Amino acid sequence: MVRNTYTSVVTIERYIIEQERLHPQATGALSGILQDLALAAKMIASKVRLAGLVDVLGEHGTENVQGESQKKLDVISNDIIVKAMDHGGRLCAMASEEEEGIIPIPEQFRRGNYVLLFDPLDGSSNIDVNVPVGTIFSVLRRVTKGNGVGTLADMLQSGYKQVAAGYVVYGSSTMMVYTTGQGAHGFTLDPSIGEFLLSHPDIKTPEQGRYLSVNEAYEQHWEDNVRQLIRRYRGMDGKREAMNVRYIGSLVADFHRNLLGGGLFAYPANAKSPTGKLRLLYECNPLAFICEQAGGLAIDGHQRILDIQPTHLHQRSPYFIGSKADVAIAAEMLASS
């Protein structure tokens, strides 16, 4: 008898619908957004998987609003998401790391009550050397009245107002992890059938972790209490076991490994980036939502990331995210600054 080789045949589409039933007032719009994002993820995955063979490597020759040179795949991934999401009638606006202003919904399409913010390709400096990269997204309900194009006010909401958030990691396998506030759930892409299948239901991150992800090249640019904190994690002040340093320069890949294995990712402010490097609205907030749903925590050194009231679209934040006990040490040692 041929046994079913699949550990699970729950597709992401089916799981999203089943989750929707947990919200009696759901209209299905949020489910539609998540399903369209799963399609965009498959399209980006197909580009990333062939990056060495088709002309998508290297620089696009332009800079984004962050002043960072754009890789061809940054721009391609951005366009894939915009075109996958702009006609579904569920969004009234989008915002991307790769575009300065708000991305309106074209006139010919119906507008909906949600806004989508995203980092189309995270860790893109790694794409040319075949190191895992990712996509990060955040969904908010519009707060402005009427059904006009979404505005900045709809985007500048604190992270605890997110109605959904998630990421895709294009690693040894392609995984999509999302939450709508009912736990964090992971799906693995089976490329032979083109479906994301449930592989990690209700992810819970260990209370205390093994991995420390931080770029220690900035040590001389950190505040002294940050230096002390990182020494603590590395067991150098004798107060705890040393953590294994794992840092590959792709936030999504570093975060995903720590989420499953336990640990902490830190991108502190430094003299060169006085408010940190990572962007609050489409990097820090969505991963913080996922992390808290998995039992972890994310702070900026003084407050919970999800409580920060944003003031502009591409604002950055210092970032400490991961296992609750590890982040609690950061809260304690940085409170004094």
Q: Taking Cα atoms as reference points, which of 223, 186, 228, 224 lies closest to residue 203?
A: 186
| Chosen from ligand AHG, Mn ion, none, partner binding at 337 (C-beta under 5 to 8 Å by type) | none
CB-based contacts of 116: which residues, under 8 Å, 6+ apart? 33, 85, 91, 94, 95, 137, 138, 139
Closest by CA to 240, choosing from 302, 303, 299, 328, is 328
User: What is the SS3 assignment for 321?
Assistant: strand
**Which of ligand AHG, Mn ion, none has residue 195 at its interface (CB below 5 to 8 Å by kind)?**
none
Q: Is the Cβ–Cβ distance between 261 and 272 less than 8 Å?
A: no
**Residue whose structure tokens are 């620089």:** 59
- List the one residue out of 223, 221, 241 whose CA is nearest residue 232: 241
Q: Which is nearer to ligand AHG, 124 or 199 (CB)?
A: 124
Answer for the pair 175, 189: CB distance below 8 angstroms, yes or no.
yes
Would you say 330 and 266 are in contact if contact means Cβ atoms under 8 Å apart?
yes
Q: What is the CA radius of gyration of the chain?
A: 19
Q: Which residue among 122, 154, 292, 326 contacts ligand AHG (CB under 6 A)?
A: 122
Among 20, 36, 86, 119, binds Mn ion (CB under 5 A): 119
Token digits of residue 51: 């990056």
Q: How far apart (Å, rounded) are the C-alpha atoms in residues 19 and 82?
A: 25
Options 31-39, 123-131, 194-202, 286-294: segment touching ligand AHG (CB under 6 A):
123-131
Interface with ligand AHG (CB under 6 A), residue from 156, 243, 251, 333? 251
Mask for 129-168, x = binds ligand AHG (CB under 6 A)? ----------------------------------------
Q: Is 182 exposed, middle or buried, given 0-12, 13-18 or 19+ CB atoms closer than 10 A? A: exposed
Chosen residue from 123, 276, 318, 322 binding ligand AHG by CB under 6 A: 123
CB of 41 to ligand AHG, least distance (A): 16
Of 90-98, 152-160, 163-171, 317-325, the segment contacting Mn ion by CB under 5 A is: 90-98
**Binding mask of the shown chain, residues 198 to 237, with x at each position contacting ligand AHG by CB under 6 A:** -----------------x----------------------
Interface region with ligand AHG, contact rule CB under 6 A, candidates 14-22, 42-50, 115-123, 288-296 = 115-123
Q: Rounded to 5 degrees, what angle do the CA atoms 169, 27, 91 make?
A: 55
* Subset of 87-106 contacting ligand AHG (CB under 6 A): 97
Angle at the Cα of 213 from the Cα atoms of 209 and 217, rounded to 5 degrees: 150
Compute the least distance from the CB of residue 81 to ligand AHG, in Å: 13
The verdict on 249 binding ligand AHG (CB under 6 A) reads yes
Among the residue ranges 159-167, 170-178, 201-209, 243-251, the one whose residues contact ligand AHG (CB under 6 A): 243-251
Q: Give 178 or 267: the residue with its C-beta nearer to ligand AHG.
A: 267
Q: CB-wise, 215 or 244, nearer to ligand AHG?
A: 215
Which span (15-23, 116-124, 227-235, 300-308) binds ligand AHG, by CB under 6 A?
116-124
Closest CA to 272 of 213, 318, 322: 318
The count of residues in the chain is: 337
